[in-house]
Amino acid sequence: MKKHTLARTVTASTLLSVSLGSVNIALADSPHSVTANIGVVSDYMWRGVSQTQDDPAVQGGLDYAHASGFYAGTWISNVDWGGDDPNYELDVYGGYGGSVNDDFSYDINTIYYAYPDGRDSNFWEVATSGTFKWFTLGLAYTVSGDNDGGLFDDGDIYYHGSFDYDELPYDLAFNLHAGYYDFRYDTVTLDDGFESESADYWNYGASISKEAGDFGTFSLNWDQNNGDPDSPGEYDNDPKFWVGWLKEF
């Protein structure tokens, strides 16, 4: 599972949170497109929680899209939850996106988070979101997971919202985001017979980015959560500041 302790994060909140660039290698006038992406971040943050114990990550993937709105892809990143495993995350996803008018768009997708060298870690989500101008609201529902009766098993719901504005001076883009994780199995029974604190938590953050032509896109980011360190999530709720880079080839 995605372990929440730091003593040891389709829809991403923003492009910056997964540090993706894109390379369009589609033929002109074709309804099909294939893109590749690569990025580096100083800390892999996912829904307000570090997946690398505050260390850097190298990430990238491959995507297919059709003019109808259908898309599918895969994405990979190194992770470090402490202990011997897992060492990397491999996501496979697909979905459909479209627009009602110039102001309103929507997306429906599914994603499978796999940790091939981990144990009881894989889980599968379905998600939907809607965007009106600069504002996005959505939720992701965990359909199944390998961690039976624990976090990231079936029935978890993640609610999220964001504000994205890319018309700042000097071609700067700004993102503000927040989310709430409601786990189905959010407590455990302790040795003394009492239940632990709830693992449910809020997360929030902001990003500012700048496109630099052939040098790629750079971002400065802040993420934080209010999770209880004594809950099954073992949260580190200190503010996290990290930088990201992405490159278009």
pLDDT, tens digit only, all 249 positions of the chain: 465 432 333 334 343 333 333 434 445 578 999 999 999 999 999 999 999 999 999 999 999 999 999 999 999 999 999 877 899 999 999 999 999 999 999 999 999 999 999 888 999 999 999 999 999 999 999 999 999 888 999 999 999 999 999 999 988 999 999 999 999 998 877 666 677 889 999 999 999 999 998 888 999 999 999 999 989 889 999 999 999 999 877
Query: Is the separation of the CB atoms in 111 and 97 below 8 Å?
Result: no
Fold classification of 15-246 is Porin (2.40.160)
Q: Which residues of 146-176 are buried (b: 16+ CB within 10 A; e: fewer)?
A: bbeebbbbeebebebbbebeeeeeeeebbbb
Delimit the domains of the chain by residue range. Answer: 15-246
